[in-house]
Every structure is written in structure tokens, then in C-alpha cells.
Structure 1
Amino acid sequence: MLLTSRTKNSGTRTPHRLRATALLASAVSVCLLAASAPSTPLGVGDRLFPHLGNPGYDVASYDLSFTYPGSNTKPLQAVTTIDAWTTTDLDRVNLDFAHGKVDSVEVDGEPASFSSADEDLVVTPDDPLPGGSWMRITVRHTSDPVYGEDREGGWVRTKDGLAMANQADVAHLVFPCNDHPSDKAMFTIRVTAPNGYTAVANGLSTGVDRAGRATTWTYRTQHPMATELAQVSIGRSTVLHRTGPHGLPVRDVVPTKDRALLEPWLKKTPGQISWMEGKVGPYPFETYGLLMAEANTGFELETQTLSLFERDLFTEPVYPKWYVESIMVHELAHQWFGNSVSPRTWSDLWLSEGHATWYEALHAEEQADRPIAARMKAAYGASDRWRAVDGPPAAPKAPKPGQKISIFRPNVYDGAALVLYALRQEIGRPAFEHLQRAWVSRHQDGVATTADFVALAGEISGRDLGGFFQGWLYGEKTPPMPGHPDWKPEAPQPAAAK
């Protein structure tokens, strides 16, 4: 996710559009089939989102079916099927799900009782599930795109339909799931919509079936994906196809009326993919493309294989060309850093946003003569302040109450890119570039931690970098910058007079 500036004529990006809109808990609207033992919400113990995700099982695949009614103010009918392995004996299964009405639940084809517990859907099969067994859970439910003023994310209403923005913890506003990036899975997504609409989702199309007044579109991923990266676009759209490096299919989704207007930007993608491949190695997925949404989100989002962008970013002439292209590269870089290699916990977010910001800045340096050292010097000046307000890069402070996306702060963008700049200064450019390639190759299609990165950096550099990373990733104060003894943090701001 990149929080994009809408300050006109500035030519710089500052992640300032963290809305005060709350992401408060709301109860799942369910039809209680049985009043079994009291239900409680669980979680995988994430430091920043302790009730997100659920223990006891590992999801292998999701099969999602949505029926769009032709209005983005009405609930979609949906069926979610989850195939998973149990990792321990379970007498009930907790799924993350909120803001939908559950009609029925089946476990291995048999009806199961269910209840709600905060933002968990608690499923109780007739017979306990032994550890190490295969289970299939089918939930028939609604998926409601309309929230109160206290909610943000999940379904995003566009001018002509819907799109998804599930980061960091709102995929479960759309479908039942194990909503944590540590549990990646394969996805099949089906969308049925009235004729005249186009539906696109992650992965590759496996079929388009027209029946009467409706069309069903089916997509399937070829690589595992975190729930926060799921994407479905429904609108009066056109899908544009082109070829990327090595025959990679590239497809973009644009409002039909803006096809010609947006083409000058869209045709840049294959070259940007080639540029990234030159830095870190082969593109990791089966396809890529941009989803141009007529929506005011305040951010761009790296949904896997189909990055979400605000249309106005490309149509308002006030944004410099280099700035827009650097944002495109930011979301593209996430396909390697954050999507293919996902953070095991949300505290590891710096590994995703820091690397995406690094390649955003590097592209601006190489393609637009915007020196990365100048940007990093400015970040160094602000780093102590960011650490005081938001926490150090690898130990960010918890989100503010009611503002879940407030974990996306400067300390995990330019503050984290600053760590990478310091590392390159410390171990040298050849070792740093070797590390980047090795990181995405070794952990492709998996999840990884800060400790994994520290260990790999030490392995490749042949040095013990524990002390270096301790200060740069966890210190309250920013360490001296290797090679730049003249760089100084900004002086603290004087206290306001009372």
C-alpha cells in the first residue's frame, strides 16, 4: 500500500492521507442455528493485530463465488469454500468474518452449527476434527459493500461498480477466511454479474460463461496469495492485453470511456517489469496489470497480479511524470516484496514497504535524475521524529484506536528504505544487490521474518550484522549513517507555549 499525496504542484509524495475513519469491530449478522458452548474470538497472536487470523489449521485454497446484483449499494450473494489441513484436534473452527449475513455452513458436506464472536465466525461440526486431517468448510453468506461511517476497506465502491482493498485486516469484511498474511493459499474466484459489466480478479481467466442476462467470470491463481492481496473488479470496464518480458501476459482494467486517455501510462508497464527484473530477478507471477478505479481511496494497493490505482493519479496533469511512474514501480516492486515474499507478521511490514519504497526511489534516480542520496538524507533528518511518534521500522507502534491502517506510517516507508540505504553503505553495493536477489529467490511464494532477512544479510556479507540491524531496526534513535558522518537528525521541535 502506498498512501499517495494529493497536494498539487508539490512533486513529492508524503504519506499523509491516513484517514480518521475508524475500523471498529462490528458483529457478524448471523442466523444462529444452535446455542452451543460460548464462542470466543481467537487469533494467531500478531503483535499489532492480536485477534487476526486463527490457529489450528492451514488453508490450502479458497473458492469464492460472488453474485453482483447490478448495484454497488446492495449485498452480493456469496459462497466461500475453504479447503484446509488441521494442525491440531479441533472441536470448533474459527474463521475471520464480519459484515455479512451467514445463511448456512457445512463441514465436509454436513451441516454445522455456527455463531459469532466479535469478528469471528465460529463453526462447530457435529464431530470433532482430528489433527492432520483434511477439511472443507462451505459458507453461504452475503458480502455487503455498504458500511457505516466507521468502516473503511474491503469492498471499495467505484463510480460504476466495486473493487477490493483488503489491507491490512479487512478481507474478512468480504469473505470468511484466515485473515493473516502468514497463511497464504491458492484462490479460485467466480463473479456473476449482469451483462454489460466486466469482472476481473487475481490470476488468469479460466472461463467466461454467458447465460441469459448474466455472465460468470472465473479466475484462478497459480501461486499462493495472502487474503489481504485478493482483488475483484466489477464495473463497466475494458480489459486491455499486451505482452511483457518473456511473453508474460499483461492485462489492464480501465473504465471503458478512458481507454485512450490511460493508454500512454499503461504501455509503460512492460518496460518497468524489465527494469525490476534487472534488479532482482524474474517476475514471480503468472500475469500483471493495473486496475484503474474511479474511486477516491487516498492510496494505491499492490493486490497480487492486479495492482489497484486511483484513476485520477493518471488523469490530473498536476503530477509530474516521474512521480507517477515511481508510484507505478512502487506497486510493481511489491509483487516481489510483500506478495511473493510476504511478511510473517505485521511487524515485518518494513520488509515490504521499505523495499517497495527503495525501488520507487531508485527508479526515480535512474530514470528522472532524482538522487536517492538526497531523499535518504531528508529521511535521515526526520528519522528520529518518526521513531518517537511511530516506533522504529521493525517494531512499529500498534494502530491507533479505530484506525487500523495507521500502521502505514513514514517509519515503514522512507524510514525503512533508509535502513536499506544504510545497509548498502555498510556492506557495499555488490553484496547488497546479491542479498536482494537471494531474498526473493529463497523465499518465493512463502512468508519470511525480519530475523530471516538479518540472517541472510549476514550470510551473504560474511559478517555478523546483529549490532547493525539492532540499532537501525529497533533503536529509539537513528544510528550514524555509514559513509555520511555529516548527516544529522533534525533538532527536536520546541514545545508549544501554553
Structure 2
Amino acid sequence: MLLTRPARPHPALRLLRRPKAALLASAVTVCLVAAGAPAEPLGVGDRIFPELGNPGYDVAAYDLAFAYPGSNDKPLKAVTTIDARLTDSLKRINLDFAHGTVESVEVDGRRAAFTSAGEDLVVTPDHPLPLGSVTRITVRHTSDPVAADDRDGGWVRTTDGLAMANQADAAHLVFPCNDHPSDKAMFTFHVTAPNGYTAVANGLPTGAVKAGGSTTWSYRSRHPMATELAQVSIGHSAVVRRTGPHGLPVRDVVPAADKRELEPWLAKTPDQIAWVESKIGPYPFETYGVLMAQASTGFELETQTLSLFEKDIFTEPAYPKWYIESVMVHELSHQWFGDSVSPRTWSDVWLNEGHATWYEALYAEEKAHRPLQDRMKAAYGASDRWRAAGGPPAKPKPPAPGQKIGIFRPNIYDGAALVLFALRQEIGKDAFERLEKVWVQQNRDTSVGTPDFVRLASTIGGRDLTGFFQDWLYGEKTPPMPGHPDWKQVPLPAPSKPARKS
């Protein structure tokens, strides 16, 4: 998930998010309004984002085609093709799509009526779609990076082009989709840009075809992916290739002018992959790499097979080397926790961020002599405050309106890693390390939830841990730490005078 960082590093390295502007109203063009009952937005009932995702179908594959006009302040022309299997009989199909102009929609090759409802594009085919059938939906639309600037993600404008940051629920600001991590699918990308630009996307390249003054770059994933993990980078970029463990293709994408300066950081990735593999098993995808974007986002992001970083984190002298390397490992760890094994609901996000924070901290302990126990003790001292502010780790409070990435609070980073530390204390190091390996191997390429983790931990731990997890994941107060009865909550000092507003 998104990993934010302070403006300047601090030994505690508490991960907080900057506020965002309010979510803009939907700009989907209303056209060919279907007769009958009014269209309405639907959702899969996610506690955090109740109108996200859509019932009645399961997406098997997306084919996304974008045409970049050579300027990142103009809309891209796009075609989104969705292959889906119906899990219910439907007269209408809701897609999440909250920004762009829809030009036409086809269902199985026939024109379909469409309209908007909330942040949904509601499609009415010329005939009902039966349960169990397979359908193809083709949407011709625009995708506008300018209006996304004040929103919680979607297109990110870089100094020379674009990149994507689609978490928590922003993929539908870029393309029509079933925008929930419980519905993973295969992805194919076709990105057309003027010659001189380089386009890169998730997965492996399948070709680059020049035609006149432009080139179309194509990529395809070999593993299913959640929509929030999609990545497309367009810019004056260099693609740096090397080989990782077991012959894994590693490709990094950096501003071409900065390739030499950034190479020492890029060269660290193969050893970092090998380190994570030594903890939890083989890397789960077909390739990996780092996308260093010249942009101001305030976070890093584990987009599948190609993690997004702000370039400046690697060039800002205030960030110590050990900290930057641990952030790299945080996003790398997400390829297992969050990408390969995705959350079933957004309340399960602690499984992503707690694990990525755990391996980030473990790497810092082993490589930079930053004791994990010290970090966990500090987290314990702040845990009650985090729970009060953001909710328990597995029951985060919904974000404020217009601040959807506000779910990414300390309670699901260090607060969730603290749960894993308590679990290791409870069942022992050997059982804990076995649990970690079995979890990612058993659930590869799926979406799973907290109850699945509790069941597996109980099986491997040799006893029912339901009560343990209930207290640690859902309690308003932090339970005593096993093996450390002396650990206490640390209240904030009282201010000496009223705080000034600024």
C-alpha cells in the first residue's frame, strides 16, 4: 500500500499521510440514458468504501489502450475492454468510473445504452445477460490527468509525463473497472506515445510498434492483479535491465538524464529480492523493478511488478541510506503481501501494511543495526493513541470525506506490525516464520481476509488463537505484550501552552 514518509526522517519514522483535497464530482458524460428504473450506484458492501466494486460479475481480464497526446495537461484517448463472467443474471452492468468522457459502450459487439450514477458507469445492454455467461464490455472514453490532480490518486503528472497511483480506490479515475481488490484479473496494456517517449506498464513487454511519429508499447501480466495495483509510466525514461535471483528479469524505469546518478540504488534490488526470499520464499511474479518518477506525491507505492517511488527520496541528502533501503524493502515486500496475496476487503489492509512494515523493520535490524524490538516497544507505547485516532488495526475508521487515502494511518503500519510481533511472542519464532511462508504460498494470486490468517495461525500455532487476535486486532485498548509485561503505554506530554493555528 501507500507508504508515506516525513518531510525529514526521524528515528521513530512514524508513517503519516498528508491531507488531500475533497473528491471532485463525477465527470462521466451522461449519454444514451436507458429507459426504466433510475440507474443507481452499487457496491460490494465494503465497510470502508461501500460503493466500491460491483456485484453480479467477476472480471477475468482487462485490455487497456491509452493514447498519450504528448502533453500531460490534456486528456488521453482510451479504450477499455473487459471480459467478465456473470455470477448473477443482469439487466444492467455497473462499472466503477468517476472521471472521463464516455464516447460509446458495446456489450458483446453491440451498442449499449449507458449513463452515470454516483461514481458508477451504468451500462444497459440490448438484452439481459444470463447467469454463467461470459461477456465482453468495450468502453471508448477519455482519461484526464488534469482533473485527477486534486483527487486521491489516479494519474500522477510527472515533469515529463505520467504515472499511476491508484490506491486506495482510484483506478476508476483512470479507466472503467470493478475497482475492488477482491476481484483480481489479468491485464494487457497498449500505450501509444509520440516517438521519444518510453511507455512501461505492469508485466512483461510483448512488443513496441512504430507507426509514423508514434510508438505503441504493449505489456501483459502473467498473474492476476487488483485494479489498484495497475501501473503505466510515460516519459523521457531509461529502462535499466539486470538479472535477479533465479534469472528473474529486473527492469527499472528512471528519468533518462538521471540514470547514472541513480544506478547505485538500482543495483541494490537483486540482493534485496534475495533477502526477502530467504524470509518468505520465492518471488511471486514474472519481473520486478523500481519506477523512479520525478513527481511530488508524498508516498511510495507497491504497484505490481513495478513499485512507484518519488525520485527525490534517492537524491535528498537528509534521508539516511539505511532508511531509503528499508523503504525499498517495504515496497518490495508488498509484492508478496498485498499484491500476490491481496486483501479481500479494505479492513484487511493491515495484512498488507503490517507485513511490509515488519520486513522493513527486520531489514533495518539486520542490515543497519536498528533493533526491531526497540521499534516495537515504541509502537506499543503509542498504540492506544493510534487506536483511538484511527481505529484498531483490523477495524480502521473510515476516512474523512475527500481524503480516501486517510485510511493509511499508523495503526495499520507500525500498529499492525506490533500485532505480528505479539504473535511471534505468542507462538514462537519457528512457528511464526513457518506461518509467513505458508501464508504467501497457500494464497498466491488470491484475495483473502483476516479470518483466513487467524485460521492458519491457529493451525500452525497448534491452538485456537481467535481470542488472541480478537484482542489485538479489534480491541480499543492494546493488550499486554507477551513476554514483556513491563511495556506500557506512553501518554503524550501535556502542552505547555495552547497550540497556535497555522
TM-score class normalised by the smaller sequence: over 0.9
Q: Which residues in structure 2 correspond to 1:219-368 (within 5 Å)?
A: 219-368=219-368
Structure 2 vs 1, CA of residues 475 and 82 (structure 1 numbering), >3 Å: closer, same or farther?
Answer: same
SS of the residue corresponding to residue 270 of structure 1 reads helix
Counterpart Cα distance in 1 of 2:390 and 2:234: 36
Q: 2:404 maps to which residue?
A: 404
State the TM-score, normalized to the length of structure 2: 0.97
Alpha-carbon offset, residue 35 of structure 1: 4.6
SS of the residue corresponding to residue 26 of structure 1 reads coil
Alpha-carbon offset, residue 479 of structure 1: 0.3
Alpha-carbon offset, residue 3 of structure 1: 3.4
Matched, 1:74 2:74: yes
Alpha-carbon offset, residue 24 of structure 1: 4.2
Structure 2 vs 1, CA of residues 364 and 495 (structure 1 numbering), >3 Å: closer, same or farther?
Answer: closer
Q: Which residues in structure 2 correspond to 1:383-398 (within 5 Å)?
A: 383-398=383-398
Answer whether contact 2:58 2:87 (CA < 8 A) is retained: yes
Answer whether contact 1:21 1:149 (CA < 8 A) is retained: no
Answer whether contact 1:188 1:220 (CA < 8 A) is retained: yes
Deviations 1:234-288 (A, max 9, x none): 0000100000000000000000000000000000000000000000000000000
Counterpart Cα distance in 2 of 1:148 and 1:215: 25
SS of the residue corresponding to residue 252 of structure 2 reads strand
Answer whether contact 1:89 1:129 (CA < 8 A) is retained: yes
Alpha-carbon offset, residue 490 of structure 1: 1.4
2:438 is matched by which residue type in structure 1?
A
Structure 2 vs 1, CA of residues 169 and 259 (structure 1 numbering), >3 Å: closer, same or farther?
Answer: same
Answer whether contact 1:239 1:252 (CA < 8 A) is retained: yes
Counterpart Cα distance in 1 of 2:495 and 2:38: 51
Alpha-carbon offset, residue 400 of structure 1: 1.1
SS of the residue corresponding to residue 15 of structure 1 reads coil
2:290 is matched by which residue type in structure 1?
L
Alpha-carbon offset, residue 9 of structure 1: 5.5
Counterpart Cα distance in 2 of 1:430 and 1:191: 47
Structure 2 vs 1, CA of residues 24 and 394 (structure 1 numbering), >3 Å: closer, same or farther?
Answer: farther
Structure 1 regions of 5+ residues with no counterpart? none
Q: 1:200 maps to which residue?
A: 200
Counterpart Cα distance in 1 of 2:443 and 2:25: 34
| RMSD of aligned Cα (Å) | 1.4
Answer whether contact 2:148 2:173 (CA < 8 A) is retained: no
State the TM-score, normalized to the length of structure 1: 0.98
Deviations 1:52-107 (A, max 9, x none): 00000000000000000000000000000000000010000000001100000000
Give the 4+ runs in structure 1 shifted more than 4 A: 33-36, 492-498
Counterpart Cα distance in 2 of 1:38 and 1:495: 54
Answer whether contact 2:96 2:179 (CA < 8 A) is retained: yes
Alpha-carbon offset, residue 26 of structure 1: 2.2
2:346 is matched by which residue type in structure 1?
W
Deviations 1:281-340 (A, max 9, x none): 000000000000000000000000000000000011111100000000000000000000
2:283 is matched by which residue type in structure 1?
Y
Alpha-carbon offset, residue 40 of structure 1: 0.1
Structure 2 vs 1, CA of residues 204 and 315 (structure 1 numbering), >3 Å: closer, same or farther?
Answer: same
Counterpart Cα distance in 2 of 1:392 and 1:476: 6
Answer whether contact 1:4 1:13 (CA < 8 A) is retained: no
Alpha-carbon offset, residue 152 of structure 1: 3.1
SS of the residue corresponding to residue 288 of structure 2 reads coil
Q: 1:476 maps to which residue?
A: 476
Alpha-carbon offset, residue 36 of structure 1: 4.6
Identical counterparts, % of pairs: 73
Counterpart Cα distance in 1 of 2:314 and 2:497: 43
Counterpart Cα distance in 2 of 1:288 and 1:101: 33
Alpha-carbon offset, residue 34 of structure 1: 4.2
1:217 is matched by which residue type in structure 2?
W
Alpha-carbon offset, residue 497 of structure 1: 8.4
Structure 2 vs 1, CA of residues 495 and 397 (structure 1 numbering), >3 Å: closer, same or farther?
Answer: farther
Deviations 1:209-257 (A, max 9, x none): 0111000000000000000000000000010000000000000000000
1:283 is matched by which residue type in structure 2?
Y
Alpha-carbon offset, residue 8 of structure 1: 2.7
Alpha-carbon offset, residue 14 of structure 1: 2.4
SS of the residue corresponding to residue 447 of structure 1 reads strand
Q: 2:47 maps to which residue?
A: 47
Q: 2:63 maps to which residue?
A: 63
Q: 2:372 maps to which residue?
A: 372
Counterpart Cα distance in 1 of 2:477 and 2:484: 16
The total of aligned residue pairs comes to: 498
Counterpart Cα distance in 2 of 1:124 and 1:34: 7
1:238 is matched by which residue type in structure 2?
A
Answer whether contact 2:76 2:142 (CA < 8 A) is retained: yes
Q: Which residues in structure 2 correspond to 1:458-497 (within 5 Å)?
A: 458-491=458-491
Counterpart Cα distance in 2 of 1:2 and 1:174: 18
1:153 is matched by which residue type in structure 2?
G
Q: 1:215 maps to which residue?
A: 215
Counterpart Cα distance in 1 of 2:448 and 2:31: 39
Counterpart Cα distance in 2 of 1:2 and 1:425: 28
Structure 2 vs 1, CA of residues 139 and 496 (structure 1 numbering), >3 Å: closer, same or farther?
Answer: farther
Alpha-carbon offset, residue 149 of structure 1: 6.5
Q: 1:147 maps to which residue?
A: 147
Counterpart Cα distance in 2 of 1:321 and 1:497: 37
Q: 1:426 maps to which residue?
A: 426
SS of the residue corresponding to residue 147 of structure 2 reads coil
1:403 is matched by which residue type in structure 2?
Q
Counterpart Cα distance in 2 of 1:350 and 1:305: 21
Alpha-carbon offset, residue 28 of structure 1: 1.5
Alpha-carbon offset, residue 11 of structure 1: 4.9
Matched, 1:97 2:97: yes
Counterpart Cα distance in 2 of 1:366 and 1:17: 27
Counterpart Cα distance in 1 of 2:281 and 2:149: 43
